[in-house]
Amino acid sequence: MSHVAFQPKGQQFEYQADYVVVGSGPGGATMANALARGGASVCLVEAGPWRDPEHYPHSTFGALRDLFDDYGNGLTRGRAFWPVVQASAVGGASTINSAICVRTPADVFDEWTTDHGLDGDLLRDTLWAHQDTLEQELSVTEVPPASRGLFNRLAKQGADALGGGRLAGDQRYRYRRELRNAGWAG
């Protein structure tokens, strides 16, 4: 893997690759990863800067300045104004998100069977196998008791009352490789 940073506007840069993926957020990075694992050469183009973890800002202002697009002030206008919070850095919004990893809940597959006539059991098994792999690769773990906030404590109580397992929208599971115990809030 090679990495070329901070090309000034207008400067020519040549690189040959089988594929060019624009944007290095979870969408683009997943696509680039799948293509590269399939043996293709891939050029991943990202508008934002590369930040090594040791250079991540430690203040809210620093994060807004260095990682967010437009200081987190993006807006879209429909019948009302809506904030659109986006990151601009290698990794996209995965650099600023809460690392919550939500699995497709079982009742979604039941609904696909009853309401849409699909083979929900087959879809569940297939998708959960992929989600197993993803969770392993991303080191998804349950937030440890000492780091649980109110939402995580309530989610745990609810899950225990229902016999254990994970709830729909459960925020207790987070990807945490190299997070060094950061990002556990909630």
Ligand X SMILES: Cc1cc2nc3c(=O)[nH]c(=O)nc-3n(C[C@H](O)[C@H](O)[C@H](O)COP(=O)(O)OP(=O)(O)OC[C@H]3O[C@@H](n4cnc5c(N)ncnc54)[C@H](O)[C@@H]3O)c2cc1C
Does residue 170 contact residue 155 with C-beta atoms inside 8 Å?
A: yes
24 binds ligand X (CB under 6 A): yes
Q: Where are the beta strands (DSSP E) in the chain?
A: 19-22, 42-45, 75-77, 81-83, 140-142, 173-175
Q: How far is the CB of 86 from ligand X (least distance, A)?
A: 5
Residue numbers 26-65 binding ligand X by CB under 6 A: 26-28, 45-48
Structure tokens at 12: 């020519």
How many degrees, rounded to 5, is the angle at CA 24 between CA 22 and CA 30?
100
99 binds ligand X (CB under 6 A): yes
86 binds ligand X (CB under 6 A): yes
Give the span between the Cα atoms of 160 and 149, in whole angstroms. 17
Structure tokens at 119: 């083979």
Q: How far is the CB of 9 from ligand X (least distance, A)?
A: 13
Of 1-9, 84-92, 134-142, 148-156, which segment contacts ligand X by CB under 6 A?
84-92
20, 22, 154, 168: which one contacts ligand X (CB under 6 A)?
22
* Site residues (vs ligand X, CB under 6 A): 22-28, 45-48, 85-89, 92-94, 96-100
